[in-house]
Amino acid sequence: MGFQISVKAIPAKALNIKAVQREVQKELDETGKVLQKEFAKTTSEWKGDKPTFAVTTGGVATSGGGRAFVRCYPSGDPNGVIKWVRLDEGTKHDYPITPHGNYPLRFLWQGRGRSYSARTRPRQLGSGFGSGEKMGTERKEWVGVTHPGVDPREWSIVLGEQEIGPFAARIWAAVQKGLAEK
């Protein structure tokens, strides 16, 4: 006994590329706002220098497909940006802190690694876990102090892992919405 396979061509609908690009761009802009809001939660309770977060989007209008992207990064106050990068990426080694000027360093000391209660934790977005204050009895000494380094908080990685699935779903929905337009 034999069988037969036949293929029937289905006429394609007109593709409105501009509508797809417009919908994807709207979604990229919205994703940028989500990323800014999430990162801002982490810096909301910081004292002193803190960054703002800028967003760049692109790749939507490239011919031949390409890839769409959204990038959120620290900007604004240079000292706040440096602070963010040091915390997000960590400082790999101990580094010296030396007195500036003609006065001793003053610091509260409770022992190595226990003299400060950080507001943030590695791999956790948000702020407010600790007091953000120094603890212990005050020492006034003419010494060089070695900072023990900072464990990387990895906020950028955590937010990327958290948003990759929802981002893909939102972009796919935007493409579908753009394809539905005539």
Run of H or E residues at 177: helix 155-180
Question: Which CA distances in Å does 16 have to 11, 27, 177, 182?
Answer: 15, 17, 11, 6
pLDDT one digit per residue (tens) for the chain, 182 residues: 566 665 776 676 777 889 989 999 999 999 999 999 999 999 998 888 999 999 999 887 655 566 889 999 999 999 999 999 999 999 877 777 766 777 666 665 555 555 556 677 777 787 765 544 555 455 555 455 677 788 899 999 999 999 999 999 999 999 899 888 87
**Closest among 15, 40, 39, 30 to 68, alpha carbons compared:** 30
- Sign of the torsion angle spanned by Cα atoms 145, 151, 153, 154: positive
- First CA to last CA distance, the chain: 46
The Cα angle at residue 35 between residues 30 and 38, in degrees rounded to 5: 125
pLDDT of residue 108: 56
At 20, the amino acid letter reads V
- Dist CA 110 CA 42 (whole Å): 26
Question: Which CA distances in Å does 27 have to 34, 172, 176, 182?
Answer: 10, 10, 12, 19
pLDDT of residue 182: 72
**20 contacts: CB under 8 Å, gap ≥ 6:** 174, 175, 178, 179
pLDDT of residue 132: 47
